[in-house]
Amino acid sequence: MLAGFQGDSLTDPTSIAACAKHYCGYGFSEGGRDYNTTYITEPVLRNVVLKPFKAAKDAGALTFMSAFNDLDGIPATGNEFTLKQILRKEWKFDGFVVSDWGSVPEMVVHGFANDAKDAAAKAINAGVDMEMATTTYFDNIKNLLEDKKITQEEIDNSVRNILRVKFKLGLFDNPFISPEAQKSILDPASLDHARKVARESAVLLKNNNKTLPLSTDIKSVAVIGPLADKARDQLGTWCFDGKAENSVTPLTAIKDLLGEKKVNFVAGLDYSRDKKTGQFSKALATAKKSDAVIFFGGEEWILSGEGQCRGEINLPGAQSELISELAKTGKPVILVIMAGRPLAIGNELNEADAVLYAWHGGTMAGPAIADLLFGKESPSGKLPVTFVKGSGQIPFYYYRNNTGRPGTQQSWTPIDSIPVENPQSSLGYKSFQLDYGFTPLFPFGYGLSYTSFTYSDLSLSALSMKTNGSIVVSAKVANTGDMDGDEIVQLYIRDRVGSITRPIRELKGFRRVHLKKGESAVVEFTLNGEDLAFFNGKITATEPGKFDTWIGTNSNEGLHGEFIVE
């Protein structure tokens, strides 16, 4: 991401300063509601929340943005601990910090500042160099200086940070971008790359009886669903410069591939939240006269992004009802989900023969999806987040702690199997939910392919290492299927015993490997002592002890090995 924004040279005509946001804890808000309160222990803050920000700083991010939320009672825009202690002193960040939109005066609403003047003082003293959108700095900074609420040194430091970034970008030598540099946005090479990115992002979640890929020789296919031909929706949220007329929809791409005569289209629903069933009969008739049904469902773009939180994360509108009716036709049903968030699709998963999660794939989403549905390419994407069975299972993440009573298949008592007036002592006393159990709908890192990959020959370069040493973990990965494809090989570890309890698994590396049919490769990962370090409440250190490691295809599967850190 940083390389894409900032380019090979900061003075290039299309280079812009990347901004790491929202710093920090914004994604941990209570109830998953934007702008909401966060309470995060320092070990979780340092071991989880700050890691991507530290990676962004190390990769050269020129700016950081302070978040809307408060963190343990201190708004992020007035938080000296995160902005001065961690970002400046510990990480030696020398770019500038900008507030989020209006987050300085919002500290008054938080109850952290008395008025706009007080908010400006607290933001400046905390280390926010630039205010976005609002004018509390402009309106109050002179009086704050006269009242000695801020110092000239604070002002000078902020100005230095801002000027330093502007000099790096070459803005004083060339403040304007050349219009010629923008003409390549929709050129063939860029569109091909957009198609590749959309294709590699899609995740195949289910493929019963090799329903996919469909043959291009198919006699007819029914294309149904509210997102089959919605050019703007596939661009996703926060896309102010994207134009619907530049998007190629799935319907258009499938028609281009098969020819219009083979494609029978009925939307069934006018938009994703549509609850009207008036088109159902026409959709069912279309399905019955076709050899297969491709249903494009999910969420329209406006349901995703900032401020678009949902309490229930099922498919909106009457989509589930339509999918259920289509399944009754007996025709193969392929479900393609286009959405900006993971959705609880357990019921739809049971109804469909195949499920492809395509997200909001952008301008070239249609051709990318067509490539996958008809086997021009094999799906290779893996889930970057755990998929839950329902919103009541949130938060659920792969790196969770084990607890003293972890749920097991033997201990779980499904709610419908509990006899009336059942004795209390027979319910297991383990960590699970009666209705959801103890496993997610899909684990982190999950994703299927049209070919098959076999893992073997796990090898460790040593069975022990020093805390400042390293160890190489490798495995052989073979394409044992009938099609060329990419596999994303994943490395996980577990620190069995720590001075604070450690997660059951942590992702420590991944590799995308392209293997032709019948081909194999040895995939290696190097684990350094610092990869095993964690903040234990006092210091960040690598603690001696026993470790597990896995190389596999997702966070739940893999070849297992063990080593010791001395």
Which residues are known catalytic residues?
Answer: 100
In three-state secondary structure terms, 374 is coil
Six token digits for residue 280: 């159902």
Give the CA distances from residue 462 to residues 474, 513, 515, 529, 542, in Å, rounded to whole numbers and listed in that order. 11, 25, 28, 14, 18
- The one-letter amino acid code at 427 reads L
Q: What is the chain's Cα-based Rg?
A: 26
φ and ψ at residue 429, rounded to 5 degrees: 50, 45
Q: What is the dihedral of CA 531, 532, 536, 541, to 10 degrees?
A: -80
DSSP codes, 252-275: HHHHHHH-GGGEEEE-SSSSTT--
- Give 549's contacts (C-beta < 8 A, 6+ positions apart): 460, 473, 491, 492, 493, 494, 527, 560, 561, 562, 563
**Angle of helix 116-126 versus helix 136-146 axis, rounded to 10:** 80
Query: Rounded distance, CA 413 to CA 243, Å?
Result: 51
DSSP code, position 291: S
Q: Are strands 485-495 and 545-554 parallel, antiparallel or unpaired?
A: antiparallel
CA angle 35, 120, 66 (to 5 degrees): 40
In three-state secondary structure terms, 170 is coil
Query: Rounded distance, CA 484 to CA 514, Å?
Result: 8
Query: Rounded distance, CA 191 to CA 197, Å?
Result: 10
Q: Are strands 485-495 and 506-515 parallel, antiparallel or unpaired?
A: antiparallel
Query: Rounded distance, CA 326 to CA 351, Å?
Result: 9
**Cis before residue 22, ω within 30 degrees of 0?**
yes
Q: Based on the number of CB atoms within 10 Å of its own CB, is 93 exposed (0-12), middle (13-18) or buried (19 or more)?
A: buried
Q: Is residue 14 a contact partner of residue 183, using CB atoms and an 8 Å limit? A: no
Q: Based on the number of CB atoms within 10 Å of its own CB, is 61 exposed (0-12), middle (13-18) or buried (19 or more)?
A: buried
Query: Rounded distance, CA 125 to CA 107, Å?
Result: 14
Element holding 142 (H helix, E strand): helix 136-146
In three-state secondary structure terms, 309 is coil
Query: Rounded distance, CA 489 to CA 555, Å?
Result: 11
H helix runs in 204-315, sequence order = 250-258, 280-288
